[in-house]
Amino acid sequence: MGILDNRVAIITGAGGGLGAAHAKVFAAEGCAVVVNDINQAAAQTVVDDIIAAGGKAVVNTSDITNYDDSLNAVKTAIDSFGDLHIVLNNAGVNRDRMFASMTEAEWDTIMSVHLKGHFCISSHAVHYWRGQSKEGVAVDARIINTTSGAGLQGSIGQSNYAAAKAGIAALTLNQAAELARYGITANCVAPAARTGMTTAVEAMATRMAKPEDGSFDYFAPENVSVLLAFLGSAESAHVTGRCFESEGGKISIADGWRTTKGLDKGEQWQPSELKAAVDQLIAEGVPAQPVYGA
């Protein structure tokens, strides 16, 4: 028995890296998995591995940035396995550049793959789940989004990526608030793991390398996957609107923007008064975490 027995998931970008790890862990926990990736050969390799291990999986090559094509991922889940319970938005790319040098194309690519990519399949899945709910079917569905520490606190040279990942965190809060009425939870996870994206830089590849002595593989992507498996399970029905961080054997919840006590003059401030007021607010507040790379 697995924590995801009799559940069906779509996992985007599952042809490699974190997505492939997620797909294999989900399948090992009893989930039927739609392995979504634009690289059909890579997706098929993951599916073959899952089936060889006794699991259930199929390939889907829907373009997550194309709204109409994304519907086919949901159709694949329902046609292949009879239902859908989980959308795990994982797919992503990098177009790193300092802000002063960033091109419009580099900005648009990241917004399309990350932010729009988190919208398209989820939108179609929500239409399906809302329809079930309105027909009196008990829905126990999950949206799991992938944010990043870059989105939570910024990252030098990644203003496009940081902005998109921050948008995903905010999207998750809205989804949780709006979709609970239909039996849908929404959570996001900021992972730290060894993938093609994180090891593209030699220094990162060295730091994240798998230990040769057989000790705990701190940056193994499966360390993140097990948290997502829990979030996709029936056991997590009470967990929604949360942003988790996962690194090695550590899991935590990122605490988002909060309104402080503030200063209330009771009438309009004058510009000449605001330096002292703002200085006081900063002195009394909790400093933000440093931007990555600062």
| Catalytic member of 161, 225, 233, 236 | 161
- Rounded distance between C-alpha atoms, residue 217 and residue 221, angstroms: 9
**Residue for token digits 């989105």?**
151
Give the three-state DSSP class for 291: coil
| Catalytic member of 122, 165, 233, 236 | 165
- Rounded distance between C-alpha atoms, residue 138 and residue 69, angstroms: 27
148 catalytic? Reply is yes
Residue 252 DSSP class:
E
Q: Residue 38: phi, psi to the nearest 5? A: -75, -15
**Tally of residues, the chain:** 294
Tokens of 53: 């291990």
The answer to whether 25 touches 222, Cβ cutoff 8 Å, is yes
Q: Which of 166, 167, 111, 173 minimizes the C-alpha distance to 143?
A: 173
- Rounded distance between C-alpha atoms, residue 94 and residue 86, angstroms: 25
- Rounded distance between C-alpha atoms, residue 170 and residue 148, angstroms: 12
The answer to whether 34 touches 80, Cβ cutoff 8 Å, is yes
Residue 158 DSSP class:
B
| Catalytic member of 70, 122, 148, 159 | 148
b/e burial code for range 215-233 (CB count within 10 A of at least 16 → b) = eebbbbbebbbbbbbbbbb
- Rounded distance between C-alpha atoms, residue 250 and residue 64, angstroms: 30
The answer to whether 195 touches 157, Cβ cutoff 8 Å, is no
Catalytic residue numbers, as ranges: 148, 161, 165
